[in-house]
Structure 1
């Protein structure tokens, strides 16, 4: 499992010991309003997510990372295979205290580069609710382009994506 360091962040696969801090970030009301609802108790849901992410790392060689700044878990970011679409998404979420500082863009850039250069993916997408202007802005800064409206797990969403040739042209 890969650990990445960016200018301000450490991205590493989550461990079971991250569950409380991850639940506090992921199910914070200002974060949760943009994501799929918790299927159970937040701590149980966080533990289940961490197990799912570990399986992805084992099976696919990639998955979401815990995002750390100054030793504190402030979010998650990375790559997630979405079986409903048969493609891999780039994702990010940050605790409200860490939002608005360019950290989602920094983590997203690292995840895309890893996905295209290391894993060898051909296409990476991102989805969000149509009114999530912050995530849409991150997608645009990363070079992802709007392609279509989709419904993902009963949530109206917008789909942005980028392919490997476009990423390699833009990131060189």
Structure 2
């Protein structure tokens, strides 16, 4: 079951059915959706996606997905899930454009990485980012992600695969 996470300014909690309109609004904003998955989808597709969070993801406990809130208002979406792209777990997040540039992306990404390392016991976490998404690439670089490889997409664009490895804890002296 997806747990509730807290950061200094954010609350990450499982979606509730009443979050549907905020979810659809976030995913219908082309400034956001251009960077998500295969890009912008129809409103009907985003509503179906929201439904699958409950009927598939939560019902089958497939992976963790959260509504991201600040001061009680939903401002984003976050996930950490298995990915075939890197044979590991990938973080995915999106925030409403009104909060871009405020440091919340970095705070959210750090929370997802920490959850992956601490709660899921992962040795590394991945992110896939469009090569043209310089803002997300900069955020991830600042929190320790490194370029692993590029994927040439069918549409001619490039997706960067980034990785962050868990810091090795020093062992006691023998």
TM > 0.5: yes
The equivalent of 1:4 in structure 2 is: 5
The equivalent of 2:114 in structure 1 is: 113
Structure 1 residue 44 displacement after superposition: 3.9
Change (3 A) 1:84 1:158: closer
Change (3 A) 1:48 1:78: closer
Structure 1 residue 47 displacement after superposition: 3.9
2:14 matches 1:21: no
| TM-score, normalisation: structure 1 | 0.83
Q: Unpaired runs of 5+ in structure 2?
A: none
Matched residue SS, 1:165? coil
Whole-Å Cα distance in 2 between the matches of residues 60 and 122 of structure 1? 21
Whole-Å Cα distance in 1 between the matches of residues 53 and 154 of structure 2? 17
Which structure: greater helix fraction?
A: 1
The equivalent of 1:82 in structure 2 is: 83
The equivalent of 1:135 in structure 2 is: 136
Whole-Å Cα distance in 1 between the matches of residues 153 and 116 of structure 2? 22
Structure 1 residue 77 displacement after superposition: 1.9
The equivalent of 2:159 in structure 1 is: 157
Q: Which moved more, 1:70-79 or 1:46-55?
A: 46-55
Matched residue SS, 1:119? coil
Q: Which moved more, 1:51-60 or 1:118-127?
A: 51-60
Whether contact under 8 Å (2:23, 2:50) holds in the other structure is: no
The equivalent of 1:69 in structure 2 is: 70
Aligned residues: 167
The equivalent of 2:98 in structure 1 is: 97
Larger Rg: 2
- CA RMSD, 1 decimal: 2.5
| TM-score, normalisation: structure 2 | 0.83
